[in-house]
Chain A
Amino acid sequence: MDTTPAIEVSALVKVFAKRDKRTIRAVDGLSFQVPKGSIFGLLGPNGAGKTTTIRILTTLLAPTGGEARVMGYDVVQNPLAVRRQICVVVQESAIELHLSVQNNFRVFGRFHGLLADEIQRRTDRVSELFGLSEYLNEKGMDLSGGLKRRVQVAKTFLIDKPVVFLDEATTGMDTFNKRATIQAVKEESQKGRTIVLTTHVLDEAEVLCDSIAIMNHGKLVAQGSVDSVKAYGLRMMSLSMSLTEVSPSTIELVRTYQPISIDIKNTTLDITVKDDSTVLAILTAVRQHTEVRHFEITTASLEDVFIQLLDKKARTA
């Protein structure tokens, strides 16, 4: 059985020289692996180095140091072999504005070696999947931003490359199309394709990804399955309480337990804390102080962990 990972990144470094002679380490000693047939999410705030990493993996940029392999091919030594294994939704909106949607598909299919009949057959399938059938004869320049993005994403499902890179693919899409994209990504993964995505929408990553890596300032902050990364949050828990009234003294009381975050919506308090014992302590204290109509304890969301991890790193730095 072939156990070679779809993607192997080892001590990857990318340094950009600025005009004023300063240098920026956009990627700083990054290492991770992505198993074949899995969905991998690269998360992080703006400027974390996600897109630079994707650009190196898709042969758009050469790394300054370290190694990166896609399906066993080195991105520096054998970029053409890498390009034969991948299809990419780049972060920029990329569509042929002067061509119809149909011709956008035709050109993309030709570049990836499909014959005309096959392109037509697959165009029918993906245009139905992404709700593009009625726009096939529209020119790219006449489409809305969301539709352009949809065409761009749909193109990648026209071909069968083993690795798909989606850089902020759902940006600008409405809920319906986000859902269609997420569904399509899941189906493609089940067929054995490896999907690498970057996103700011953590809920999306939580629903889609088998494993994730969180980046900040070019470095890896956390890595593993969604559950294991959530566990990095040191048993972080969320407590949601509906009270008869939220008084300043109640909030002051909660603050004494040093929660990670407090969110107040009318008479509801959403609190994230470091561990389960703190949850129980807060709940007991608040019940003694005021009437709690309803409460719910859950493990923290990926977003809570994400914020906590980035905050912790920033404080350490």
Chain B
Amino acid sequence: MNDLYYNWRKAKSSFISAACFVCAVIVITPLALVLFHLVRLGASSLDWNFLTQLPKSVGESGGGMANAIVGSLVLVGLAAGIGVPIGVLGGVYLAEFGSGKTNFVVRFAADILNGTPSIVWGIVVYALVVIPMKGASAYAGGLALGFMMIPLVIRTTEEMLALVPNGYREAALALGIPQWKMVVHIVLKTAGKGILTGVLLAASRVAGETAPLLFTTPGNHFWSHNLSEPISSLPVQIYVCAIGPYDDWHRQAWAGALVLLCIALAVNVGARLTTGRNSPHLAR
């Protein structure tokens, strides 16, 4: 009789394991489909020309998205210039210096910022920067993306700092080290790799945003020489190519999407590998 019950339990267990496996497969499937689709449709158009040439004028075939790729990098750089200092310092405040009441306010604000739709950022920066400057610019695009980065970086910085065991803080203070030095030299150093990961992930998130860029730097067919000029970016360029009437453009849109996805994947995987090697001392 016990045997029967045992078999029934084994069967139940196997069923649940199988169900979990199926769910895992279901999760991976969309990613696989997207990758497959993109590779199928975009790989053929992905060649050296694509990566190095500017888009050709309307009607001409060929050309590439070199300026869009570089433009995206520039915009992410500008965004990081805003998002990283404010985000990291904000996270440091929350983890090291804040009190219960002020922390609640700051976190609430960060959550609101996080929940703001990206197109709203576009409109806000349009009103604040584009109109006074009388034109779109890379600055405006970078600013919009930067605002989006801030809550992401605050959140991950605070979490990484909270993972640093309190023992290190006490030990440093017990040596007569002033609190700010303790935070900079001991806590930040210990959480450094984790914070960097958080920044990289936030940057890759923000690199793919299209809506804010539509209002602030809707694109440029040529190389930008000046950050007060509009600058091209991959998401916007993909959008433009995709809604255009030409098959040639459509192909380029696929190729561009493939490039964007590859960059995002590379940053994500790279960031996880770096954290993985360094998590032991955060887990103590």
The answer to whether A and B assemble together is: no
User: Which positions in A face B, CB cutoff 8 Å?
Assistant: none
